[in-house]
Amino acid sequence: MFRIGPWTIPAPVVLAPMAGVTDRPFRILARRLGAGLAASEMITSDTRLWNSRKTRQRMNHDGEPEPRVVQLAGADPEALAEAARRNVDLGAQIIDINMGCPAKKVCNSLCGSALLQDEPLVARILAAVVTAVQGAVPVTLKTRTGWNRDRRNGVRIAQIAEESGIAAIAVHGRTRADFYEGEAEYDTIRDIKAAVGIPVLANGDIDSADKARRVMAHTGADGAMIGRAAHGAPWIFREVNGFLTTGALPPPLSRSEQRDIVLLHLESIYAFHGEDSGLRIARKHLGWYSGLLDDAQDARARFMAAGSTSAQFACAAERLDEWVCRAVFPPDETRIPPGNLQVQGNAG
């Protein structure tokens, strides 16, 4: 466990904010399955754009467990400060600042990880946001190790963050130039942890309980953040946090338990996003969940082709039911033919 301001985070591994993925249904699901924290999708600091349905959905936290985390992106200190104040008024309990997104669309606006090129601007932004919320809620930072490998200034960014009043920092073990290529490196995260006194979360390529344990041991990080490894496997938090907390992996979920989680997730997507958006957003998650199935390629094609949420759900339920049944009643070719059974014991 670690603390962010007044909040004790109950488990060391948390869900990374991911645009187009960590909507309210997925955040609630991840928390139910053991994630210590789950931040919103990135929200622009330009309040003129908040009237769009997409942004309003991202700012909806009804039914979420505390603490509710809102991630903001922008490059103007005053705009970010105002966006933070408004989100606190709307129920945000932690404000997270995005300086880690490597997407061209974000970096071309000098937001996300593009900000790592301008340390004085980083300092102004962080100080402005911390001052704006006036201690009402803690402010955290999501970042990378630097802009590129020749300018890994992650340690200095972390020091600026601590000096500005940031309560915790999550660091992806790649530079912006790396995007998601190659392997994450954790030495810089180790150096960051040694340089600051605030909680540090390690992020990047953590996809198992053992990997989380090794990364946290190497870096000394207070926690870890999992993003892409949760695609189609939200139960990873149950496994990883169970292992880190008790020293032993929890019993694996049965196929029927996994099926029920997937179907519950689909229902929550449809209820939150509605028919058209729900159908489209569920396709993405079903594309990942189809990896569970023996006939993944055919199942994925059918999930994508469904023309309504009801048809999509029925197709998913049917395929998942078949998958569950195969675990109980293996296909005929895997059974021992009756004539080949050997009876042990005395003859005659």
Q: How far apart are CA 118 and CA 13, in angstroms?
A: 30
Asked whether the beta carbons of 175 and 162 are under 8 A apart, the reply is no
Nearest Cα neighbor of 163 from 116, 206, 124 is: 124
Query: What tokens were used for 190?
Result: 């180790």
Nearest Cα neighbor of 225 from 141, 341, 135, 123 is: 141
Residue 113, C-beta contacts closer than 8 angstroms, at least 6 positions apart: 99, 100, 101, 102, 106, 107, 143, 144, 147, 175, 176
Q: Which amino acid is at 33?
A: L
Cα-based distances in Å from 216 to 83, 173, 206, 223, 244: 33, 12, 10, 7, 10
HEC sequence for 161-225: HHHHCCCEEEEECCCCCCCCCCCCCCHHHHHHHHHCCCCEEEECCCCCHHHHHHHHHHHCCCEEE
Q: How far apart are CA 139 and CA 166, in angstroms?
A: 5
- If you write DSSP's letter for every residue of 65-86 in order, what string do you get? PSSPEEEEE-S-HHHHHHHHHH
Cα-based distances in Å from 347 to 329, 340, 344: 31, 17, 9
Nearest Cα neighbor of 161 from 177, 143, 146 is: 143
Q: How far apart are CA 164 and CA 312, in angstroms?
A: 48
101 classed as catalytic: yes
The residue from 101, 107, 315, 325 that is catalytic is 101
Catalytic sites, residue numbers: 101
